Amino acid sequence: MDLGIAGRTAIVCASSKGLGKGCAAALAEAGCRVIINGRDADSLQATRAELSVLGGEIVAVVADVGTPEGRAALLEAVGTVDILVNNNAGPPFKDFREIDDEAMLKGINANMLTPIALIRAVIDGMAERRFGRIVNITSSSVKSPIAGLDLSSGARAGLTAFVAGIARTVADRNVTINGILPGSFDTDRLKGGFERTARNEGISIEEAKQRAADRIPAKRFGTPDEFGALCAFLCSTQASYITGQSILIDGGNVNATF
């Protein structure tokens, strides 16, 4: 399906690997000029080389989007922004009693304040041009809490609530804001969880992985390509009537009717 966004310029934050990379790949295949971002120059350049064969132009910007300087560098490299995909690493798994104030503020900055700052920087231009797509990558834990990921869940839930009203103020100018809530995807972050479970329970990493997969109704983990396809659709012309929504993609793991 032609998504109608060929030639559009997209920023995909934290896109050298994982879900961000999946989104960047899908947008490149749709013909977008994609600005990818990460903190490790070698990893980012490898991703750029890999994605460059997909169609759209790929521009790599080494920067930490969690800092004002990093966001400025990203925006200066772009010019007009038609699509913004907000993504950032979440705080590590930790009991909330062990999270000090500094770590708390760092998590809120990375997963709530940084996306809001980028939205603020691009949304008026999108509204003036009467096209804009903003996708916030959050987590299924926004809907179904996971003990130990309380800081990540809280910050991402705060972002979700913050942008809910904003989305309604720009919908009439063809600007949409939606969130994608991933469950368990085959990424480095998930692999780290298997290693922790294996250590804590005295089992092999493969057994920890299989147990986790078996708990999901789909009996498997999602792939970054599947995630990217959903992101690209939400950025399409066909998705212009979808806004202010939080869309689960988790293999049916969150057991809820709505």
Rounded distance between C-alpha atoms, residue 115 and residue 133, angstroms: 14
Q: What is the model's pLDDT at position 90?
A: 85
Chain centroid to CA 74: 16
What residue spans of the chain are helical by DSSP H? 18-29, 41-51, 68-76, 101-108, 114-129, 150-170, 188-201, 205-214, 224-234
Taking only the tens place, the pLDDT of each residue in 41-79 is 999 999 999 999 998 899 999 999 999 999 999 999 988
Taking only the tens place, the pLDDT of each residue in 187-213 is 887 887 888 888 888 999 899 999 999
End-to-end CA distance of the chain, in Å?
28
Sign of CA dihedral 64, 150, 21, 120: negative
CATH number for the domain formed by residue range(s) 9-184+224-249: 3.40.50.720
Rounded distance between C-alpha atoms, residue 231 and residue 221, angstroms: 17
Rounded distance between C-alpha atoms, residue 145 and residue 194, angstroms: 19
- The tens place of each residue's pLDDT in the chain, 258 residues long, gives 899 999 999 999 999 999 999 999 999 999 999 999 999 999 999 999 999 999 889 999 999 999 999 999 999 998 899 999 999 988 888 899 999 999 999 999 999 999 999 999 999 999 999 999 999 999 999 999 889 899 999 999 999 999 999 999 999 999 999 999 999 999 887 887 888 888 888 999 899 999 999 999 999 999 999 999 999 999 999 999 999 999 999 999 999 888
CA-to-CA dists, residue 98 to 101, 103, 186, 223, angstroms: 10, 9, 28, 32
Q: What is the model's pLDDT at position 241?
A: 98
Domain with CATH 3.40.50.720 in the chain: 9-184+224-249
Q: What is the model's pLDDT at position 74?
A: 94
Q: What is the model's pLDDT at position 79?
A: 87
Closest CA to 178 of 188, 167, 192: 167
Q: What is the model's pLDDT at position 254?
A: 95
